[in-house]
């Protein structure tokens, strides 16, 4: 099985913009193989296994769909169904309790 290498970018401008848009103090968001953080430290994020699984699920989705295709389908689903009912978010929430989600994943 191919290893999935995931980077973490703390104090990300992208995550800051998402936090402002969502009106929340802390955000993790994925672009490709990078998890962007705002309002949460790397250590605090990594200590929350469910949150890590959620974001790694999005990394896997990016890899499955391809970068631009994922963005297109994610935002199309968001516009049609909203954030909570977006199929990509539904899958990521289900992944939070999946003990296999982190298999083959290296987080740097």
Q: What's the domain count of the chain?
A: 1
Domain that holds residue 8: 4-107
Using one digit for the tens of pLDDT, what is the confidence trace for 61-81? 999 999 999 999 999 999 999
| pTM, to two decimals | 0.94
**What's the pLDDT at 2?**
78
Q: Could you tell me if 31 and 61 are in contact, meaning their C-beta atoms sit under 8 angstroms apart?
A: no
Element (H, E) at 31: strand 27-31
Using one digit for the tens of pLDDT, what is the confidence trace for 9-19? 999 999 999 99
**What's the pLDDT at 1?**
63
Using one digit for the tens of pLDDT, what is the confidence trace for 17-61? 999 998 999 999 999 999 999 999 999 999 999 999 999 999 999
Token digits of residue 82: 């909203």
Q: Could you tell me if 14 and 22 are in contact, meaning their C-beta atoms sit under 8 angstroms apart?
A: no
């Amino acid at each position: 099985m191919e290893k999935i290498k995931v980077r973490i970018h703390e104090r990300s401008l992208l995550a800051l913009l998402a936090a402002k848009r969502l009106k929340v103090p802390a955000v993790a968001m994925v672009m490709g193989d990078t998890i962007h953080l705002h309002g949460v430290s790397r250590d605090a994020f990594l200590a929350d296994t469910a949150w890590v699984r959620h974001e790694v699920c999005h990394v896997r989705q990016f890899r499955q769909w391809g970068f631009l295709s994922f963005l297109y389908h994610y935002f199309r689903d968001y516009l049609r169904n909203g954030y909570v009912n977006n199929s990509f978010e539904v899958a990521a929430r289900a992944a939070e309790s999946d003990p296999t989600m982190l298999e083959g994943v290296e987080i740097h």
